[in-house]
Structure 1
């Protein structure tokens, strides 16, 4: 099968390697040169995408990320790129197009339980733009589009968490947070290739929401730092569960984020 990656970062690299090892032909699009020997790399701007000279593409993964998390950055990266990508893919016999979005499209912020059947109610502009991107792809590829909504991705570094541990003395409230190990996300994206009747969308998370202050406190204990004080029992954030993902037969390898964090601390 000929598989195209539009956007080629840490997650795409992991997925591409797995699919190459399964015997698929991999092509990638990014704005900088890449050196992975198992893929053909093309340097292009997605806003001027040209796929006319590619052999027919069977399967596409779209994994884009803005250089800045501003409204303008989201508009340009996620929404303004849709039509050029759709136009470039028109002549290709796509079986599926997998679009990686975010659980930001669920706008709840009072500790609510969210799963794959929950309604989309984004409350901030970035969440609304992600939802608009999803809708545009679903309209362009109503039968082929699969939307993936990962929670917070971890597994490559704990530098940010160390900084939080060092700088956080108090925490305003009980803020629920959710995570997925980058290797599990990549494995599920590759697994989709073998799902005969996929759902239109999937939440991808480890199904273990944790108050963020507890994660920071854990790091503070490991680093022998003073533990933060929680100022209020008010609940914010959301508790997210992937209900469709397990139905595909997929099993997580990284359910215990603290065990993973401990391993990362050894090498940080």
Structure 2
């Protein structure tokens, strides 16, 4: 079997390692030489390509893992359109990592995969378009809607150590997360199993207020919890992108994923996920 990973970054390298261990021939598509070196380090082939500008000559594959984000402007994912046009035949397995942002703001509601998409930001609208493209390209494709991804070197350590304020709990909503190792395993399982559904919430299933996450990280780092600020002050201090994330609240259910894949997350409790991530980070 040949696995082709488009956008072989942190998550992709982890999937590549799993594919290599399973005996696949693996090609990871990256843009930079440092990224290519990480792909080669796990035993995979690295293909350096600019997905927006280069002529795309992509190898045939049995498993397609598409992890590249859309370009930064517009309502459609033109990057994905170029890639899918360059693939000659539909792979047996296709996996796309999307975002839970396609649901928009859901307040306190629990959200499963039957909820209609309601993308509010241009960024999320591009993801909705990407999901549509992928499912039209391959009706058996598996779309993984991921929330915030955390793991080694993906924690707001400096922000917490510097005492950067966060939005207070009364003004903030629910946040969701997934450890990067769990996401990689879920993606690999989606690319190797016959599954009942096309769309899965790839979340740890334990939403919390954002402050709970930051306070726990601060405690593990041995520093004071981040100070809280109001929404009015946040609008003055935070970037437009950060505010767009904070405006949305939802509680993601991962029941479908656990039922269909039979996967028990390694880090369903983000306390353990944070501890493991900090332990894995270099001093």
TM-score by length of 1: 0.85
Among 59, 62, 79, the residue aligned to 1:58: 62
- Counterparts in 2 of 1:44 and 1:259: CA distance versus 1, 3 Å: same
Secondary structure in structure 2 of the residue aligned to 1:86? helix
Among 215, 231, 237, the residue aligned to 2:249: 237
Whether the aligned pair in 2 keeps the contact of 1:177 and 1:209 (CA below 8 Å) is: yes
> Which residue matches 2:269?
256
Distance in 2 (CA, whole Å) between partners of 1:83 and 1:121 is 22
Distance in 2 (CA, whole Å) between partners of 1:227 and 1:95 is 47
Specify every segment of 5 or more residues in structure 2 that has no aligned partner in the other structure, as ranges.
232-246
> Which residue matches 1:135?
132
Distance in 2 (CA, whole Å) between partners of 1:170 and 1:133 is 31
Secondary structure in structure 2 of the residue aligned to 1:81? helix
> Which residue matches 2:148?
152
TM-score by length of 2: 0.81
Q: Mean alpha-carbon deviation: is it higher for 20-29 or for 103-112?
A: 103-112
- Counterparts in 2 of 1:231 and 1:30: CA distance versus 1, 3 Å: closer
- Counterparts in 2 of 1:227 and 1:88: CA distance versus 1, 3 Å: closer
1:105-144 residue pairs with structure 2 within 5 A?
A: 105-141=102-138, 143-144=139-140
Q: CA deviation at 1:252?
A: 0.5
In the TM superposition, what whole-angstrom CA distance separates every residue of 1:135-162 from its partner, at most 9, and x where no partner exists?
Answer: 1222232x23221111111111365145
Q: CA deviation at 1:256?
A: 1.5
Distance in 2 (CA, whole Å) between partners of 1:253 and 1:20 is 21
Distance in 2 (CA, whole Å) between partners of 1:148 and 1:196 is 15
- Counterparts in 2 of 1:261 and 1:253: CA distance versus 1, 3 Å: same
Secondary structure in structure 1 of the residue aligned to 2:156? helix
Distance in 2 (CA, whole Å) between partners of 1:244 and 1:205 is 11
- Counterparts in 2 of 1:236 and 1:183: CA distance versus 1, 3 Å: same
Among 90, 96, 100, the residue aligned to 1:99: 96
1:1-268 residue pairs with structure 2 within 5 A?
A: 1-33=1-33, 34-35=36-37, 36-37=40-41, 38-47=43-52, 48-51=54-57, 54=59, 56-65=60-69, 73-75=72-74, 79-89=77-87, 91-141=88-138, 143-157=139-153, 159-164=155-160, 166-168=163-165, 171=168, 173-222=171-220, 223-225=222-224, 228-229=227-228, 237-247=249-259, 248-266=261-279, 267=281
Whether the aligned pair in 1 keeps the contact of 2:166 and 2:211 (CA below 8 Å) is: no
Distance in 2 (CA, whole Å) between partners of 1:226 and 1:97 is 42
Q: CA deviation at 1:59?
A: 1.4
Specify every segment of 5 or more residues in structure 1 that has no aligned partner in the other structure, as ranges.
67-71
Secondary structure in structure 2 of the residue aligned to 1:250? coil
**Larger strand fraction of residues:** 1
Q: CA deviation at 1:237?
A: 1.3
> How many residues are matched?
256
Q: CA deviation at 1:246?
A: 0.6
Distance in 1 (CA, whole Å) between partners of 2:140 and 2:167 is 47
Whether the aligned pair in 2 keeps the contact of 1:177 and 1:211 (CA below 8 Å) is: yes
Distance in 1 (CA, whole Å) between partners of 2:31 and 2:55 is 11
